[in-house]
Structures are given as C-alpha cells and as structure tokens.
Structure 1
Amino acid sequence: MWGLTCPSSPEEVARARRWTRDILRDTPCVDDAALIVSELGANALRHTASGGANGAFHVALALSGRVLAISVLDAGGVKETPTIRQPGPGAEDGRGLTMVSALATLVEIHGDHRGRTVTATMTIPSGDPSC
C-alpha cells in the first residue's frame, strides 16, 4: 500500500498522477489508474474543503494480486454525497465520477461532511496488456 498527501494546489493533481504512474509503471492499467487519480484529486480540490487555503487530499493505492484499489480522501465541508450521474450533452461538468465508474470495476463513496473517501477498484486482467 502506498500513500501520498497533496496540499491544496491544482499542480498537486499532476504530481499525484505522476506518482501513480511511477508506482504502477509495470501494471497494464497504469493509464486508467492515473486518470482515476487525476479525476478524483481534481474533484476533491474543486468540490470540497480540500481546495481551500489550508486544504489537502490524500491518495492511497493498494495492489493485491490482480486487484487495485485507488482511494482519495478529501477534507469534507460538503453536505451532499457525490453521485455518479449522466450529465446532459451541453453540461460543462459532472463527468468525472461517470468516467471513473466506466474505468473501475466498483466505485464506493464513504464518509460525511467531515471528509469522504472515494475508492475505485479495478481488476487487472491476466495476460492482457490493456485494461
């Protein structure tokens, strides 16, 4: 298991993505995993207290056999639990969790207004170089 804490800055999303790529470089799903980390990190900064002056978000990666769990913990500050939705064709946002759910086998959201963890679980195919 690996963990990374990222202060409140858009540049930290890119750092989390690079960190994920470095750790999972030999994993077939490295590109999908980096995209998931990027989306979840950006959501934490944009929609929660993680994006505030003293905010931060934490990324955790856990790899066991062919199962990869990617978790992002935010700093809370929002009453509504994020949901996976289908935005309309003209919508300018709302696609992040939908994209994450398309890449992951399972997406779980736990927590409350004090902080939430979004975990995307991926099953890495055996013998297949793509995900």
Structure 2
Amino acid sequence: MLLAIPVPAEADASMYWRRRFRGAADQVWSVRAFAAHLLADFEALDDVLLVLDELAVNALRHTRSGQAGGHFTIEIRRDVAGVTVHVIDEGGPGEPRVGDIVELAESGRGLLTVDALATAWSWKGDSRGRTLRATFAERA
C-alpha cells in the first residue's frame, strides 16, 4: 500500500511552466487557457490574462513570430511573491515601447495596458529575439 504524506510547502518554493505556441492568431486563446488553468486561484488572474493577451498579440504583429513558420514561447513562474510571465518572440524591427494615446485609434495601447496592470515590466533582446517580462505581486 502506498501512502501519501503531506509535506508543507517551502516559503521560497516556486512553480515554473513553459510552452511553445505556433505563431498564429488562434494561439492567443490557447495562451490564455494555458495560464488560466495554471493560475486559477491567483487573485490578479484577470490582469495576468489580459497582459499575456497583449504581449502575445504584439509578438504576432510586430515580430517574426507572426510570420509563416513562426512561434513564440510563454513562461510562467509562481512563487510566494506573485507571478512572473515571459513572452519570448523571434525578434523583428523596432523596439517595444509605450506609445502615445491617439484618440479613436484601434491599436497601439498594448504596452500601456501592460504598464497599467503589471506591478513591473521590462524587455531585453534585439532584432533576433526578445523577451518581454511582466510581474504581478501577490495581493495581501
């Protein structure tokens, strides 16, 4: 007989998940479903999902990830401090930047949304590939 013995979680223990997605618009829904399943009990889940949506769409629109045969990768880390997400794309021209709000514009607000919802965000990389990172603090 096999017995399961509960073991208390360590204060600094973290969970980590990584998944690669095809560079196609229908994959954005899959990104959201992936994160929603893993972070179902995280208080700021809606913020995380919206930010992942924006970052995945940006990867598809502004990098080689959205071209034929492209892909992007999502990494999610959860620990006692909160959640960190990474969107890793295949790079492209230009650099991620928060744009000016243009009234009635249908796009261009993605990184403004990320900036408003995430505790912090950053990016690194170049035209060969970039990683955008957003963190979300655990709410007390």
Q: What TM-score results when the alignment is normalised by the length of structure 1?
A: 0.91
Report the counterpart of residue 58 of structure 2 in structure 1. 43
Matched, 1:116 2:130: yes
Deviation digits for residues 27-58 of structure 1 (CA, Å, limit 9, x no counterpart): 11111111111110011001110001010010
Aligned to 1:21, which of 10, 31, 36?
36
Alignment root-mean-square deviation, CA: 0.9
Rg larger for: 2
**Code of the aligned partner of 1:13:** V
Report the counterpart of residue 91 of structure 1 in structure 2. 105
Aligned length: 125
Report the counterpart of residue 129 of structure 1 in structure 2. none
Aligned to 2:77, which of 58, 62, 67?
62
**Code of the aligned partner of 1:97:** L
SS state at 2:26 partner: helix
Matched, 1:76 2:105: no
Looking at structure 2, the residues matched to 84 and 61 of structure 1 have their Cα atoms a distance apart, in angstroms, of 23
Looking at structure 2, the residues matched to 87 and 113 of structure 1 have their Cα atoms a distance apart, in angstroms, of 25
Structure 1's unaligned 5+ residue stretches are 127-131
The range that moved more, 67-76 or 87-96, is: 87-96
SS state at 1:22 partner: helix
Aligned to 2:121, which of 97, 100, 107?
107
Moved over 4 A (4+): none
Looking at structure 2, the residues matched to 102 and 17 of structure 1 have their Cα atoms a distance apart, in angstroms, of 19
Structure 2's unaligned 5+ residue stretches are 1-15
Looking at structure 2, the residues matched to 29 and 50 of structure 1 have their Cα atoms a distance apart, in angstroms, of 27
Matched, 1:3 2:18: yes
